Structure 1
Amino acid sequence: MASVRRKPTISAGWKTQIACAAVLLVALFPAPGYMVKSDDFKRCDQSAFCVRQRAYADFADKVYNDSKDSRLSPYELVAGSLKFDEKAGLVTASLLDAENKIPFSLSVSLLERNTARVQIKETRPVKSRYELSGDLALASELPKSVPISSSTNSKDSSETTVVFGEKKQNSLVIRAKPFAFSLSVNNVPAVTFNEHGYFYYEHWREKDVAAGLANQDASSSSGDLVVETGITDDEEKKLKEALNKDLWEETFKSTTDSKPNGPASMGFDISFPGSSNVYGLPEHAANFSLLPTRGKGKVYDDPYRLYNLDVAEYILDSPMALYGSIPFMFSHKKGVSAGLYWMNAAEMWVDVEKHDESDILSKASKWLPFGSHKAPKASTTAHWMAESGAFDVFIFLGTKPMDIFDSFTALTGRPVLPQHFAVAYHQCRWNYIDEQDVADVDANFDKFDIPYDVLWLDIEHTDGKRYFTWDSAKFPNSEQMQNNLAVKGRKMVTIIDPHIKRDDSYKVYKEAKDLGIFIKDKNGNDVDGWCWPGSSSWIDYTDEKARKYWAERFKFSEYKGSTPSLFTWNDMNEPSVFTGPEITMPKDALHNGGVEHRDVHNVYGTLLHRSSYEGHLLRSDNKERPFILSRAFFAGTQRYGAIWTGDNFAKWDHLEASVPMLLSVGTSGVVFSGADVGGFFGNPEPDLLVRWYQVAAFQPFFRAHAHIDTKRREPWLFGEPYTSLIRAAIRERYKILPYIYTLFAEATRSGAPIMRPLLAEFPEDEATFAIGDQFMLGSGILVKPVISKDQESVNVYVPQASVWYDYHTHAKLAASTSGHVTIKTPQERIPVLLRGGSIIPRRERVRRASNLMLRDPYTLWVALDQQGQAHGELYADDGHTFQYQENKYILSALSYTHNTLSSTLHTTQTSAPSESTITEVGSRVERLVIVGLKTAPKRVVVTEGGKKSDREVLVESEKLADGLVRVTLRDPAVIVGREWEVKLEF
């Protein structure tokens, strides 16, 4: 479903109707090629706190450049206040804004997984700031603290060094005046804080007190500072004007934000010495390696914005905000990785600036990194700015990106393990119009021998956009419809959005109103805005009582017409409010406890996602794993399910953009993500649709979706050769489901992305650090999309640290001195490569739904590396329950060494699976395909449970174009879940 607005049901007065018509007019009659109206959404220069924070940074740069010193930042530690609790791993100090004489407290908590938590709070605040707390933001409990190994002071006592970490590999250096700190790994600087003096904390104040430096007169320290550094009176005046911008009220277009608590923004700079690339900050339709927005070489004028918004047909190559926001960034250089998470759900802007060696040498070589006179070759600085909330920042250290993913998801939550069906192919459209349409689509998948697992219904299936209901004329027998799919192993998903139609005859609205669980406007009345049903209100999911109420709506006794095979899609949950500022909720709306919406905006959609997830647990008595798709997301969304990239377009450049977008989301914790195959808006030409299917088959969430005004595009509608090409792509997805499902199991243990940037697998190869147009599926498969019409070949970067084989032919790729190879791209394939050293579990018998394949035998592809070795994993469970949490699963470690393929118990499985588990979820291996052998074996010996089998294994060999031999061993008759060996004798 989407955001191009159609006229809602008219049930309000004529004044409201006219106001709504003005908002919806363009969407009702979109011109060909209509794109999002950028002026519906703020730029930095229209966001008061962004203007103030950027102005302060500009001032800091001016002072810094004139003085060649950073000591002019007004924040400093109070002398003698720095204290240590070695056992608790805690560093505390008193911090002072010397310009405004505002005291703060600083605490740095040193935690497991090489994590440091930095909190800065006003010591005597006028009021309390909103803090994300407990399981609203974190998985459960914080990681345990780690002790401080040692602490030392510099000779002049200006710097203090703290050493921590299991191997004493991490160091924290705190400088007192001006306040700054750095973190290093093995004595190599990873991050620095306040290097550029951008730290600026707008303390709470009464309305008649001005903000920050704007309140200083010529005789103050600020005035002296201006004189000393040559800042002109005009420049000082402009700074004061900027720092006074819209402190207590702010208007955008026709809407005024009352801002009753006044200015409360925070900003700081964080630098990554020696790193030329930073990543993260989803969601943006932009490069995976974030492009500069500040300084020389900047590409964008605006910072990256994090503010969940309903943006239809979003602009590509832009830092503008989209549907999700994860305030997480990471960087990597050879030997050191670092990440940062700001636990804050308010609106943010983040500037990115790249510095070359000359910049660093001229500005900060004398003190960066602290205690060293050697400057790094390059650096990247991020200037973070938040409108409100708390200063609560986590910094993660490691030697490779996978360390950062592990630490971040240990904090915010491991990805949930989906049901097996959810990893397969989904068919969706706005809208399948009635039960006959559903039956016809389902039958045609069988007719054309195309597997699929889930059929989706959009908003038109409801009774007048009343969620948890059915249109009785179009879907009079909803349970039977679902059961007809279920007997084939298939599921259904229905959309359930957060806007609740204001209609007292609608049970959900009446009950929620009576319970008082709707979000209130600034005057204390239930918010009344417009969305698909017309006049609507929104449940407040920050309220535990509201979340409980919402969860109970999913009970089969409440959601009439639902069955256990029905799952849920939460759309429009940014939240989208057609008549609101920037098509969302007013910031001064009020949540439970009087919390302003500005403080919780970015987490709202995730709290809906969570509540729906808990509803599915409730309906199955915590036995069945839920499947919930959400459009909005935040840090921790991975605990509840999948997301997609929203309302994209049927264009080649949107196909291209999907790869870096999904890489950014996946490396920020939300590993279960995808983009609408074919593009949501518009009508894809057949070859674009084919190319999209070919790449999406190797991405985590695989769903085709289309707008209500587009032509039907089910896979069989384009005729040959397109139907066969799409069929082949979908069937290939089903063949590698064991591999992908195993990757999801890995993600639940370590947060490892399913779809990975090359740098995650090749952290020593600097050529991979900026690559975002190709990706790894797990560690074993490399994919490069075809992104233009009639493209006959594609240039692919192939890391030279590995041997590579063509996925389709198994021929070894010729070595390249540059690492770049040109691969032909006939219509039937895109570049997909097998990494030498990998073992890929597959199922070659494709059935009409994935759950029908769960007991089918496996084929293992063994692709050998330079040493003739390969390794992999294979995970299996019942595919739908939580019994895997009771050790009722199989996780085999697969290894090919010394001409022997072995299966052993994986080190992370606490005990061997029982015979009943092996019987229930294990399957035999029917085929081994070994790629990269020089000759064929003469004999094969199978050993299982320590006993040699007298079974004769059929050996087939084929010499490939590269001169190597592919060997197929048929029916070795070994069982997944047991320990065994298959030895090749030459």
Structure 2
Amino acid sequence: MKSYQKLTTDSTQVPEAGEDNVDGRPLCHQKLSAWWLGGGLLMVAALLSGVTVWVLGQIWWSQHGTPPLAKCVSIPEDLRFDCYPERNTVVTQELCEARGCCFVDSEQSSGSTNGVPWCFYPPDFPSYTLGSVNETELGLVGFLTRKAKAYYPKDIEKLQLSVEFETDTRLHVKITDATSPRNEVPLEVPPVTKKAETPYIPLSSPRRTVLLNTTMAPLFFADQFLQISTLLPSSYLYGLGEHRSNFLHSLEWNTLTFWARDVPPTESFNLYGVHPFYLVMEKTGAAHGVFLLNSNAMEVALQPAPALTWRTIGGVLDFYIFLGPDPNLVVQQYQQVIGFPAMPPYWGLGFHLCRWGYGSSNETWETVKAMRNFQIPQDAQWNDIDYMEGYRDFTVDSQKFGALPQMVEDLHKHGQYYVMILDPGISSTQPPGSYWPYDEGLKRGVFINNTQGEPLIGKVWPGLTAYPDFSNPDTHQWWLENLNRFHSIVPFDGIWIDMNEPSDFMDGSSEGCSQGKLDNPPYGLNPCSTRESIGTSAHYNLHNLYGLMEAKATASALIKLREKRPFIISRSTFPSQGKYSGHWLGDNRSSWKDMAWSIPGMLSFSLFGIPLVGADICGFSGSTSEELCTRWMQLGAFYPFSRNHNTQDEKAQDPPAFSPAARTTMKEALEIRYSLLPYLYSLFHRAHLQGDTVARPLFFEFPKDVATYSIDKQFLWGRGLLVTPVLDPGVDWVVGYFPRGLWYDYYTGSLVNSSGENLKMAAPLDHINLHIREGTILPTQKPGCCTVISRGNPMRLIAALSQNANAWGDLYWDDGESLDAFAKGDYSYLVFNVTQNTFTSAVLHSNVEATHVTVDVLTVYGVGEEPKIVTVNGKEWPFSYLTNQVLTVSDLQLSLSQGFSIQWK
């Protein structure tokens, strides 16, 4: 441990961000360096070295008092870490220096004042000192002691630092109170029993990067204020949701708040969910990720150093660091901690239609019939809160929606499904004995209580409401019984859980906000939080978990009710939500800007392990135009979760509401989606099995191409299908970036041989540009009116050859709804290959479902010369060949459950 001792006693050895060595040796030869996690001890130096610098700083400033102006001015502006981040406070020199910090106003700075803090920490601001360190089975444990009192109340003097090397690619670092327990998120992380090995990295390794460097600002750990800062190895930062922003975050003095909130998607606001996870692309093309497991209100301050500061008002500092080095692997490693997403039912990937304002079950039913009449694919019909009696959960308006049970029965007869909305607020104003959900909930004590131990009363759609406490197991049983009672009347198939931040139209409750410490933290991040759970943890700690806890209770109930895979879409989300639900991006607007914002939103949730995600197609609020809705239906056909939804008192925006030309274009877009559902379903299987992304940013596949790092107007499905939508009005063309390689037009097979460039493409109103990446085989299927029909139709396999004439693809197939189909072996899995002018289908696992499906057509893009002969399983077969190098073999009628070979010479 000699190098460990040196790193924690000599502050001159601490590397700057991006520096290549610590004690004279290359980083790739140091177990205790800060740049690589694979060996376990490698991250410790960054944290412990930082602590040592703070200790030396404490000694210096305790002797010298207020830092001199000259030394303060010498700190570069982008390295000034805010010492007075309190909002709505005018920071004066007196306030700043009372904290022992530097104060440099705009007249003393270089003139760049946009966001640069005037009050910032001097180089050696006092913090904690490291005490004894002992090895444990998985790593190290040590203690940190504060020598000087900090300026936040109830400063915790002694902390415990634990470092566990859980896998070769994951480090777990936790800092908490050494003497008293604090709130921790009850995340079910799979146990680790074997200590990770510590491999050395070859000298040829290009990854010489400091992943974290906490030496630039002090650590704070008070009862209601925790703060830690780090330099970042590059400015390519992603994640940190839920916020409306570009996929690539701006580090120009940008602060992001994390507190689940009911607010229409708006720039610079915290939105419905909380995901304190980020991914960084390093300068070498490698990637790493960091996850702070904390459910309290927090914020992340970004600055152009590049650097990041975490601030939270409770809990502990519980970090997981993921090495990658590929960005796909970072997301997989993150999901190994939070859990892989659930496998959705096949019908859940079809097209969904909804609006708030149908007015009646008959009007809803007529919309479904119009979709059928025009043969537009649709799998699910939804209703918003207007189906309820007085907006009360588990009720039906018998006058306007009296035919709802018959409508649902009709949907089922046509192979379609019904999804209803539920809000968590339970009406509390009904006469006793008249509303079972509230009466029974009151009797069982399942509601969130106020500080006096009585049900807290807020206000949502029904009016005055009580809120179920989903952290209480008794609430899950009560929730199940309510769903069961309603299901016996309206046999719904899926549930849409809304308003579950939880939303409250009042400030706190009907009694207002209390003056307790939880409603008035020293660092004013937290909105009024007088709700108290019936357990031991306050709403102060659980607020951000509410949507997750409701989704978990709802998924459990649906499984018991239907004994099939649950389908749930939730507004509020938290890490591990993908195990229970998907997500829609909230109450957007019918505008071109909102359509464009949906792509970075979708890609962010791909990082968060919630692949079943999409935005309200054509926009929720406001009235859409025919052009906008047409373009949005084309884009929305490639959301993993595809739903058209709008609000009341606006004109209808379902496809039958538009002109024949627009309606036809929308139908064609949905038919493309339904054709590609076998491919999409296989992507979801990989997401469920190992945490792959479904909708994927380009840089995940091209991490060495820096030009892809900021792209959020295009995206991939998996590795092989590039989507380039039109996002602007009045144009019949679009510019898209094509990374280096061969790309084939999805429709025609025409070739784009790109050197890595932007290309202008024709995009008339009836066309969305799709391109298949070289080396990809797509399983497609003849579309039907719904997935029940399309799943039985013949398949067409499209092979897009690489420059060396190879291609690969796969197909996962099961019955589309059974629980644990993969675990039980009730599935088929096929691998497709092209090599040496031969296409092969190998069945690696088979079940009876696959015997009902045939492969009818094989299309091969990029066949350089016209074949003289084509054979199918050794038998000569007719074919067609086009001058754009497209080979088509038809009328195959090959069983999907049996391997086959097609050769051309």
- TM-score scaled by length of structure 1: 0.76
- 62-71 or 747-756, which moves further after superposition? 62-71
Q: Distance in 1 between matches of 2:120 and 2:728?
A: 51
Q: Deviations over 1:47-93 (max 9, x none)?
A: 89x99xx9899977879999998554422211xx12223xx222111
The amino acid across from 1:959 in the alignment is: T
In the superposition, relative to structure 1, how do residues 662 and 536 fare at CA in structure 2: closer, same or farther (>3 Å)?
A: same
- Give the aligned partner of residue 11 of structure 2: none
Does residue 441 of the first structure (1) align with residue 375 of the second (2)? no
In the superposition, relative to structure 1, how do residues 282 and 898 fare at CA in structure 2: closer, same or farther (>3 Å)?
A: same
In the TM superposition, 1:305-320 aligns within 5 A as 305-312=257-264, 314-315=265-266, 318-320=267-269
Partners of 1:577 and 1:585 within 8 A in 2: no
In the superposition, relative to structure 1, how do residues 853 and 59 fare at CA in structure 2: closer, same or farther (>3 Å)?
A: farther
Partners of 1:468 and 1:559 within 8 A in 2: no
Does residue 767 of the first structure (1) align with residue 787 of the second (2)? no
Give 1:514's match in structure 2, choosing from 437, 440, 443.
Answer: 443
The amino acid across from 2:247 in the alignment is: F
Report sequence identity in percent: 28
Q: Distance in 2 between matches of 1:185 and 1:76?
A: 34
Partners of 2:165 and 2:171 within 8 A in 1: yes
- Give the aligned partner of residue 895 of structure 2: 975
- Give the aligned partner of residue 135 of structure 2: 84
Q: Deviations over 1:141-165 (max 9, x none)?
A: 2344424x4xxxxxxxxxxxxxx3x
- Give SS of 1:418's match: coil
- Give the aligned partner of residue 473 of structure 1: 399
Give 2:459's match in structure 1, choosing from 527, 530, 537.
Answer: 530
Q: Distance in 2 between matches of 1:795 and 1:558?
A: 50
Instruction: Give, in angstroms, the shift of residue 720 of structure 1.
Output: 3.0
- Give the aligned partner of residue 794 of structure 2: 857
Q: Distance in 2 between matches of 1:804 and 1:443?
A: 40
Q: Deviations over 1:860-893 (max 9, x none)?
A: 1111111111111111100111233211111212
Instruction: Give, in angstroms, the shift of residue 710 of structure 1.
Output: 1.0
Q: Distance in 2 between matches of 1:823 and 1:581?
A: 53
Q: Distance in 1 between matches of 2:455 and 2:527?
A: 12
Partners of 2:739 and 2:754 within 8 A in 1: no
In the TM superposition, 1:91-106 aligns within 5 A as 91-100=140-149, 102-106=157-161
Partners of 2:213 and 2:232 within 8 A in 1: no
Does residue 269 of the first structure (1) align with residue 229 of the second (2)? yes
- Give SS of 1:804's match: strand
- Give the aligned partner of residue 117 of structure 1: 172
Q: Deviations over 1:174-221 (max 9, x none)?
A: xxxxxxxxxx9986235214132242111x4xxxxxxxxxxxxxxxxx
The amino acid across from 1:529 in the alignment is: G
The amino acid across from 2:380 in the alignment is: V
Partners of 1:576 and 1:585 within 8 A in 2: no
The amino acid across from 2:139 in the alignment is: L
Q: Distance in 1 between matches of 2:810 and 2:641?
A: 21
- Which runs of 5 or more residues in structure 1 are unaligned? 1-42, 150-163, 172-183, 205-263, 295-299, 356-379, 907-911
Q: Distance in 1 between matches of 2:157 and 2:363?
A: 66
Partners of 1:836 and 1:865 within 8 A in 2: yes
Partners of 2:345 and 2:817 within 8 A in 1: yes
Q: Distance in 2 between matches of 1:192 and 1:533?
A: 49
Partners of 2:810 and 2:829 within 8 A in 1: yes
In the superposition, relative to structure 1, how do residues 61 and 396 fare at CA in structure 2: closer, same or farther (>3 Å)?
A: farther
Give 1:722's match in structure 2, choosing from 645, 662, 668.
Answer: 662
- Give the aligned partner of residue 24 of structure 2: none
Instruction: Give, in angstroms, the shift of residue 168 of structure 1.
Output: 4.7
The amino acid across from 1:786 in the alignment is: V
Does residue 927 of the first structure (1) align with residue 853 of the second (2)? no
In the TM superposition, 1:959-970 aligns within 5 A as 959-960=883-884, 965-970=885-890
Partners of 1:61 and 1:196 within 8 A in 2: no
Instruction: Give, in angstroms, the shift of residue 431 of structure 1.
Output: 2.9
Give 1:455's match in structure 2, choosing from 358, 381, 384.
Answer: 381
Q: Distance in 1 between matches of 2:403 and 2:527?
A: 36
- Give the aligned partner of residue 409 of structure 1: 335
In the TM superposition, 1:619-638 aligns within 5 A as 619-620=561-562, 623-638=563-578
Q: Distance in 1 between matches of 2:730 and 2:656?
A: 21
- Give the aligned partner of residue 221 of structure 2: 201
Does residue 805 of the first structure (1) align with residue 744 of the second (2)? yes
- Give the aligned partner of residue 327 of structure 1: 276
Q: Distance in 1 between matches of 2:581 and 2:635?
A: 22
- Give the aligned partner of residue 936 of structure 1: 866
Q: Distance in 2 between matches of 1:437 and 1:553?
A: 27
In the superposition, relative to structure 1, how do residues 588 and 129 fare at CA in structure 2: closer, same or farther (>3 Å)?
A: farther
- 643-652 or 384-393, which moves further after superposition? 384-393
The amino acid across from 1:836 in the alignment is: E
In the superposition, relative to structure 1, how do residues 592 and 443 fare at CA in structure 2: closer, same or farther (>3 Å)?
A: same
- Give the aligned partner of residue 182 of structure 2: 129
Partners of 1:190 and 1:336 within 8 A in 2: no
Q: Distance in 2 between matches of 1:58 and 1:330?
A: 33
* Bigger relative contact order, structure 1 or 2 (CA pairs below 8 A, ≥6 apart): 1
Partners of 1:309 and 1:323 within 8 A in 2: yes
In the superposition, relative to structure 1, how do residues 688 and 144 fare at CA in structure 2: closer, same or farther (>3 Å)?
A: farther
How many residues end up aligned between the 2 structures? 781
The amino acid across from 2:495 in the alignment is: T
Instruction: Give, in angstroms, the shift of residue 344 of structure 1.
Output: 1.1
Q: Distance in 1 between matches of 2:709 and 2:719?
A: 16
In the TM superposition, 1:907-926 aligns within 5 A as 912-914=845-847, 916-919=848-851, 923-926=853-856
Partners of 1:190 and 1:397 within 8 A in 2: no
Does residue 336 of the first structure (1) align with residue 286 of the second (2)? yes
Partners of 2:723 and 2:770 within 8 A in 1: yes
The amino acid across from 2:745 in the alignment is: D
In the TM superposition, 1:723-802 aligns within 5 A as 723-800=663-740, 802=741
Q: Deviations over 1:388-444 (max 9, x none)?
A: 112211111111101111111111111111101100100000032223212211111
- Give SS of 2:406's match: helix
Q: Deviations over 1:361-382 (max 9, x none)?
A: xxxxxxxxxxxxxxxxxxx321
Partners of 2:101 and 2:120 within 8 A in 1: no
In the superposition, relative to structure 1, how do residues 195 and 512 fare at CA in structure 2: closer, same or farther (>3 Å)?
A: same
Does residue 873 of the first structure (1) align with residue 873 of the second (2)? no
Partners of 2:629 and 2:653 within 8 A in 1: no
Partners of 1:501 and 1:537 within 8 A in 2: yes
Partners of 1:57 and 1:197 within 8 A in 2: no
The amino acid across from 1:613 in the alignment is: A
In the superposition, relative to structure 1, how do residues 566 and 918 fare at CA in structure 2: closer, same or farther (>3 Å)?
A: closer
Q: Distance in 1 between matches of 2:529 and 2:175?
A: 24
Q: Distance in 2 between matches of 1:758 and 1:570?
A: 31
In the superposition, relative to structure 1, how do residues 170 and 352 fare at CA in structure 2: closer, same or farther (>3 Å)?
A: farther
The amino acid across from 1:542 in the alignment is: S
The amino acid across from 1:89 in the alignment is: L
In the superposition, relative to structure 1, how do residues 855 and 884 fare at CA in structure 2: closer, same or farther (>3 Å)?
A: farther
Partners of 1:891 and 1:977 within 8 A in 2: no
In the superposition, relative to structure 1, how do residues 656 and 719 fare at CA in structure 2: closer, same or farther (>3 Å)?
A: same
Partners of 1:843 and 1:857 within 8 A in 2: yes
Partners of 2:496 and 2:570 within 8 A in 1: yes
Q: Deviations over 1:754-798 (max 9, x none)?
A: 111111111111111122221111111111221111123222111
Instruction: Give, in angstroms, the shift of residue 99 of structure 1.
Output: 1.8
Partners of 1:188 and 1:336 within 8 A in 2: no
- 381-390 or 633-642, which moves further after superposition? 381-390
Partners of 2:97 and 2:103 within 8 A in 1: no
- Give SS of 1:941's match: strand
- Give the aligned partner of residue 622 of structure 2: 682
In the TM superposition, 1:634-653 aligns within 5 A as 634-653=574-593
- Give SS of 2:469's match: coil
Q: Deviations over 1:646-692 (max 9, x none)?
A: 01000000011111111111111111100000010111111010110
- Give the aligned partner of residue 958 of structure 1: 882
Instruction: Give, in angstroms, the shift of residue 849 of structure 1.
Output: 0.9
Q: Distance in 2 between matches of 1:67 and 1:459?
A: 50
Q: Deviations over 1:842-870 (max 9, x none)?
A: 112x2211122212221011111111111
Partners of 1:652 and 1:787 within 8 A in 2: yes
The amino acid across from 1:272 in the alignment is: L
- Give SS of 1:684's match: coil
CA RMSD of aligned residues (A): 2.8
Instruction: Give, in angstroms, the shift of residue 293 of structure 1.
Output: 4.4
